[in-house]
Chains A and B, each alone.
Chain A
Amino acid sequence: MNKALGKAFLEYKLLLVMGGIVILMFFFDFTFFNPINLINIISHVSINGILAMGMTLLMISRSFDMSIGSIMVLSGTITVMLVRVIGIPGAILVGVLSGILMGWLNGILVAKFKINSFIATLGTMVIFQGMAFSLTNMKPISSRNPNFQIFATYELFEGVPIVILYFLIAIFIVWFISRFTRLGKNAYDIGGNMDACRMMGINVDYYSIVFFIISGVFASFGGVLLSSKIDAASAVFGENVGLQIIAGIVIGGVSLAGGVGKVMGVVQGIILLGLLENVTMYLGLFGYFQLLFRALILLGVVIFDIVYVNVNSKMLEKTNFRKMKEIG
């Protein structure tokens, strides 16, 4: 009974934190519960959420992608520039497909050249952002086409923008891959023990390139959405996005050591970060309190997990010892 309770607590701790925040808001400011605000939170985290969904499989397979912020920026820039030349649908298509190329480059560097994924994607992060700098001449650019904004801001119902639908589709795709396909199963296996997978005859290099491509495509889709939402692109939009997304995924319960993690946990982590942002604004605090809360949540979750696991394994040892005593 106790064990099941503990497990459930570990599983739903983020929901508990979110519940705590919501109860706090109940006393503080009731306008928070306005449906417009709640929808606003979701639609605000949608783009980050799409990026996080793309990187979840990659992080489960024990590598990560620092460059998604730059991929986002570069494909947004390409799209905005092409809208004037080849029209909106073509530009969006090219922008999203450019993510395949960038993800493939990351994957080649990590899988074929055997560079640590942190270093390799740090390098490509600089390169992609540099490309965006040189394409935009270091100025924000705009497509000057009012129809381009429809792609992200079209309202499904009254006040529900279409980005939420994209977010839900992204969640469904990644959840489906992780639960029901060989690709997802291999992500967990490669993250758990890469050498064993290689010996079993799984083509590890191929799969890790595929994960990088998935991450790249989701990132570039997010980038196209972002530039469509505000009808602008600039090379500095993507700074620190990679680290933010990694933090969100880790808060969501994916281990940096690989092989552990759930898609729904990541969704919770991302929504928690968006909720914090919103609440900081509602409480009327200075903007950097948001960063403070984010840091505290991240450190808190990381330390809590370790301490919890330590206490649990000590308890397990004790009970095993007692059993051994009883037997012996």
Chain B
Amino acid sequence: MNKFYARFRLFYLNNSIIFIFIALSVMSGILSDKFFSVRNWLNILNNFSVTGIVSCGVALVLIAGGIDLSFGSILACCSVFAAFLEPRSLFLAILLPVLLGVLLGLFNGFIVAKIGANPLITTLGTQWLYFALLMIVTSGNLVQGNSDTPFHFIGHGKIFNIPFPIYFFLGIVLFAWFLSRKTLYGKYLFAHGSNKNALFCSGIDSSHIYMMTFAIMGLLVGIGGVVLSSRLIGVRPTEGGRYLMNVLTAVILGGVSLNGGIGSLVNVMIAVVVLGVIDNSMVLLGVPYKDQQIIRGGIFILSIIYNNYLVNQSEIFRRKSVSQES
């Protein structure tokens, strides 16, 4: 019994976001009877699918010990590019924006990993660079797609009555989870986040791993851009700015450490859904729009404080159990 309790406690300490998620959903379910309908849940997942796809990429970068602020601009570049290519060719409209995302991510990665600049300030610079280039190329105008091509299906189609972006979202989470947990690359990723000198000393090209992580983030953001472009039909170049806060919140709520080396993609996915639940239940409860931001920020800060407390507790707990065993 005691052993079971200990195991449960450790699980709870490491995956607190699951319990936050359950508590929030139960609370919203009690306050609003429409909350637990299939339609509402599909709505939440559908609305946050792009955020989820981008969050997976950013979570990988944070696990590797870096940070990226430029994903909003990369997302905007890719989705505008996709909207531009869409009337010409379906195949290219999917392939080239993703490639563009990889390239832009690779550029970030090159400056951060190979030259060795601080990731925060570098990606701040590239965020402005990409956004400025995008604005200069499009002169700030909306890029119009059209709604009767097959491309439209990516964002609006349904299979078994479930919107297509949700499959994308779950597929990407699965991919990123597989990459981080089941491959050698994933092992190096976590090792780079927790101690990159040790990784380098064991004979692995750590800067290459780091650069590739940025490229993979670019890949995922590019896929997110294609989905976003198809969802919106016409894309405004300023579209990416909204995602900065949401994605960072989701990744940090999901328990990914800013110092690197800690994080779980499944928890990040649940954190994205938690954000969706918060937004959704605020609408269902009729919180005025002008007050929503305070609540969002308050929940963010409180859950970070709580998460920090839990991390400390799990550290103490682990030490205790180690000393008991020995």
A residues touching B (Cβ–Cβ < 8 Å)?
109, 113-116, 118-120, 122-127, 129-131, 133-134, 137-138, 243, 246-247, 250, 256-257, 286, 288-289, 291-292, 294-296, 298-299, 302-303, 306-307, 310
Interface of B is mostly: helix
User: Given A247-B124, A289-B136, do A119 and B304 touch, yes or no (CB 8 Å)?
Assistant: yes
Q: Which residues of B contact A (CB under 8 A)?
A: 67, 69, 111, 115-118, 120-122, 124-129, 131-133, 135-136, 139-140, 245, 248, 252, 258-259, 288-298, 300-301, 304-305, 308
Complex-state Cα separation, A114 to B259, whole angstroms: 13
Q: How far is the CA of A289 from the CA of B128 in the complex (A)?
A: 10
**Complex: how many Å from CA A306 to CA B122?**
12
Nearest first, the 10 closest Cβ-Cβ pairs linking A and B are A130-B293, A126-B297, A127-B297, A295-B128, A130-B294, A292-B132, A295-B129, A291-B132, A288-B135, A298-B125
Distance in Å from the Cβ of A178 to the closest Cβ of chain B? 21
Distance A137 CA – B295 CA, assembled complex (angstroms): 16
Number of A-B contacts (CB under 8 A): 121
Q: Are B294 and A114 in contact (CB under 8 A)?
A: no
Contacts of B300 in A (CB 8 A): 122-123, 126
Q: B129: which A residues are within 8 A, CB to CB?
A: 292, 295-296, 299
* Shortest Cβ gap from A126 to chain B (Å): 3
Q: Are B290 and A118 in contact (CB under 8 A)?
A: no
Residues of A within 8 A of B258 (CB): 116, 118-119
A118's closest neighbor in chain B, by CB? Answer: B258
| CB within 8 Å for A134 and B290 given contacts A116-B258, A126-B297 | yes
Closest Cβ–Cβ distance, residue B226 to chain A (whole Å): 24
Partner of A250, one of B121, B139, B304: B121
Asked if B136 and A302 make an inter-chain contact with CB atoms under 8 angstroms apart, the answer reads no
Listed residue (B111, B128, B131, B296) with the most chain A CB atoms within 10 angstroms of its CB:
B128
Closest Cβ of chain A to B254, distance in Å, is: 13
Cα–Cα distance between A134 and B294 once the two chains are bound (Å): 8
Knowing A124-B297, A134-B290, the reply to whether A289 touches B132 (Cβ < 8 A) is yes
- Nearest Cβ on chain B to A84's Cβ, whole angstroms: 20
Residue of chain B at shortest CB distance from A132: B293
On chain A, the residues within 8 Å of B301 by CB distance are 109, 120, 123-124, 127
- The answer to whether B308 touches A302, judged by C-beta atoms less than 8 angstroms apart, is no
Residues of B within 8 A of A113 (CB): 305, 308
Q: Chain A contacts of B259 at CB under 8 A?
A: 116
Query: How far is B299's CA from A130's CA once the two chains are assembled, in angstroms?
Result: 13
Most chain A Cβ neighbours within 10 Å, of B124, B248, B308: B124
On chain B, the residues within 8 Å of A246 by CB distance are 121, 124
Nearest chain A CB to B312 CB, angstrom units: 8
Q: Are A294 and B116 in contact (CB under 8 A)?
A: no
Q: Are A307 and B298 in contact (CB under 8 A)?
A: no
Among residues of B, the one whose C-beta sits closest to the C-beta of A126 is B297
A2 to chain B, nearest CB (A): 24
Task: State how many angstroms separate the Cβ of A257 from the closest Cβ of chain B.
Answer: 7
- Residue from B122, B135, B245, B291 in contact with A291 in the complex, judged by beta carbons closer than 8 Å: B135
Nearest-neighbour CB distance to chain B for A261, whole angstroms, equals 13
Q: A115 vs B312: C-alpha distance in the bound complex, in angstroms?
A: 12
Question: Nearest chain-B residue to A137 (Cβ)?
Answer: B290
